[in-house]
Amino acid sequence: MKVRTLGYVVIGARDLEAWRRFACDVLGLMATPAPDREDALHLRIDDRPVRIRVEQSDTDAFLAAGWELADRAAFDEAVDGLKAAGVEVKIGSAELGLARCARGVARFRDPAGNPHELYYGTVFDHKPFVSPVGGAGFETGVLGMGHVVLPAPGLDACQELFTRTLGFRLSDSLEGPLRLVFLRCNPRHHSLAFATFENPTGLVHFMLEMKTLNDVGYALDRVQAAGHHLSASLGCHTNDQMVSFYVRSPSGFDVEVGCGGLHVDEATWTTGEITAPSFWGHRWDFG
């Protein structure tokens, strides 16, 4: 596989301070200053210098999903593959690399118009992750940051690009009036999913996986105590078997917080079709 992990997401936000409170006080992320501008925030969940970058903006918007490559050779191969597939790719400046804490970055859009970045060579700051609320931490490492679900009315073309060009594999799908495909690039059941519906911010949700069910429960208590909108109650998904809840972020899209996600065994996995998103729970409130 070419892409190794989902390394980071980039978000434009009208209220940077609301994001700081939501991320740190509620979700337990660690905030550090961005290295390139004062009106941006880097949020950490492990030893990586940035997993979520939030930039001050006039609008709330999803700005990029950052996909990690092993090295410069893999990065160049992925860029060449995208160009051969007819995708316009822009190599990022040194300033963009500084903002992403990476040696090299390239930008492109998928057939649905979703913004993506490829990168390699994380520049570490070697500061330990310390959650302001404590807890056992987050599941990352070879699994990456978590996953993103992106809107894609033209879902098939997006799936084709990521599987044929960037090395993703289909884990399973949900068919019907609402379609979703779930794609993996490492043992995490999916790092990327496409859904056939629109979202004003350009992002349906991103997911963070905690190491223990207790930490998920504590986070759920903090969500409710802070008065944030609970988009879905605690439940268990049918495909990745994640026990999770969904909370509305300050930018209007959801954040899934869960634990216990399924790891795919490439030697035995077979692709299937799910007919329900959850075994139990996940009572949705889109208000």
Residue 63 to residue 265: CA distance in whole angstroms: 32
Residue 57 confidence (pLDDT) = 97
Q: Are 119 and 68 in contact (CB under 8 A)?
A: yes
Closest CA to 286 of 258, 244, 246: 246
Q: Which domain holds residue 196?
A: 141-281
Residue 198 confidence (pLDDT) = 84
Q: Report how many domains make up the chain.
A: 2
Per-residue pLDDT of the chain (287 residues; tens, 9 = 90+): 699 999 999 999 999 999 999 999 999 999 999 999 999 999 999 999 999 999 999 999 999 999 999 999 999 999 999 999 999 999 999 999 999 999 999 999 999 999 999 999 999 999 999 999 999 999 999 999 999 999 999 899 999 999 999 999 999 999 999 999 999 999 999 999 999 988 889 999 999 999 999 999 999 999 999 999 999 999 999 999 999 999 999 999 999 999 999 999 999 999 999 999 999 999 999 88
Residue 27 confidence (pLDDT) = 98
Co-location of 149 and 250 in the same domain: yes
Please check whether residue 129 lies inside any domain of the structure: no
Of 88, 122, 156, which residue sits at a domain end?
A: 122
Residue 287 confidence (pLDDT) = 80
Please check whether residue 266 lies inside any domain of the structure: yes
Please check whether residue 131 lies inside any domain of the structure: no
For 131, residues 6+ apart whose C-beta sits below 8 A from its C-beta are: 28, 29, 30, 137
Co-location of 33 and 75 in the same domain: yes
Please check whether residue 79 lies inside any domain of the structure: yes
Please check whether residue 182 lies inside any domain of the structure: yes
Residue 199 confidence (pLDDT) = 87
Instruction: State the distance between the two ends of the chain, measured CA to CA, in whole angstroms.
Output: 39
Co-location of 192 and 228 in the same domain: yes
Residue 66 to residue 38: CA distance in whole angstroms: 21
Q: Is 88 helix (H, G, I), strand (E, B) or coil?
A: coil
Closest CA to 48 of 66, 75, 62, 63: 66
Co-location of 116 and 146 in the same domain: no
- Token pair 């999803």 is found at 62
Residue 286 confidence (pLDDT) = 86
Residue 1 confidence (pLDDT) = 60
